[in-house]
Amino acid sequence: MASVACIGECMVELRQAQSGASAGQGGGLYSRGFGGDTLNTAVYLARLEVKVDYLTALGDDALSDEMIAAWTAENVGTRRVARLAGKLPGLYMIQTDAKGERQFFHWRDSAAARQLMSLPETDELLNSLMSYDVVYLSAITLSIYDAAGRDRLFAAIKRARLLGTRFVFDTNFRARGWPNRDVAREVFAAAFATADIVLTSTEDLLALYPGESHDQLMARIPTPELVFRLAEPVSLLRFPGGASEVRAEPMTNPVVDTTAAGDSFAAAYIAARLAGSDPVEAAQAGHRLASVVICYAGAIIPGYAMPPKKRHRPAASRQGTK
């Protein structure tokens, strides 16, 4: 069975449950949950029957215990989660104004996940990457480590690729996570040069390279397999031997919340590729799942809302899918 290592951070989420005058006066109600881009992808991969482990660091507190329990309930593997004494997960709060626009506030500078690349068990964790078919992480993942930590992670991924592991990089860019855009561009270039598959979007790349055309942005990414999502529900694909444009099917239900649209797309794309689908079929699967996810509030939709499983061709061997 194909396996995926998702690397990243899950945080405690405080979501505004009551807006308006009371919230503006300092009141308001908040619901507590958990959130993280790569964790969302891991959950959807597990629901698509892909064996997946989540690699991160948590504290030894009750909230971290709740996270572990929730991931286990979703069949996301937790054997690679480091637990750090005295540490806590990061936290973020979402406020929504009267027009539905969201604003995020983060408290994560001392979060346990930021230490994942500098622990006594880090070498063992990084060596384990060789045992997976795919290593998946995002730019948000890379933003929480320092330069030495990123170098250590890239070196481990390169070693794993020599044994057939594929590296999938998602450009999920959040400017607040980087000291400046020059650092982000340098790290992105290193990830592009290492990746086997890049999942990106105009939203991410135009924030780093403003004013460039689609062709110019795609030319910055040398990876053999590229999925470039446009502002409209269209993906431009480039892969060995071809290129294609994939359009999402027309929506029949209203859009409620676009949270995790890209995360779920990534999960469906990776799952389809591991199951033997070509990039066009995989992008179609990505659009199908994302089109369902955005019709529900929150990042993780109810299990019953998952679209019917599509039969794929039998998966090739690990060597054959490289």
pLDDT in tens, 10-46: 999 887 765 443 444 455 688 888 889 999 999 999 9
Distance CA 150, CA 147 (A): 5
For 168, the enclosing helix (H) or strand (E) is: strand 166-170
Q: Quick one: which of 260, 259, 278 has its CA closest to 269?
A: 278
pLDDT in tens, 115-129: 999 999 999 999 999
Q: Please work out, in degrees rounded to the nearest 5, the angle formed at the alpha carbon of residue 154 by the alpha carbons of 5 and 111.
A: 65
Strand arrangement, sheet containing 91-96: 30-35, 11-16, 91-96, 102-107
Catalytic residue from among 37, 196, 204, 263: 263
Q: Quick one: which of 290, 282, 185 has its CA closest to 232?
A: 290
Weakest mean pLDDT among 10-14, 222-226, 316-320? 316-320
Active site residue 61: no
pTM of the model: 0.90
Q: What is the mean pLDDT of the chain?
A: 89
Question: What does the domain layout of the chain look like in residue ranges?
Answer: 3-9+37-86+114-305
Assigned fold of 3-9+37-86+114-305:
UDP-N-acetylmuramoyl-L-alanine:D-glutamate ligase (3.40.1190)
Q: Count the neighbouring beta carbons within 10 Å of the beta carbon of residue 229.
A: 25
pLDDT in tens, 229-277: 999 899 999 999 899 999 998 888 888 877 888 999 999 999 999 999 9
For 51, the enclosing helix (H) or strand (E) is: strand 51-59
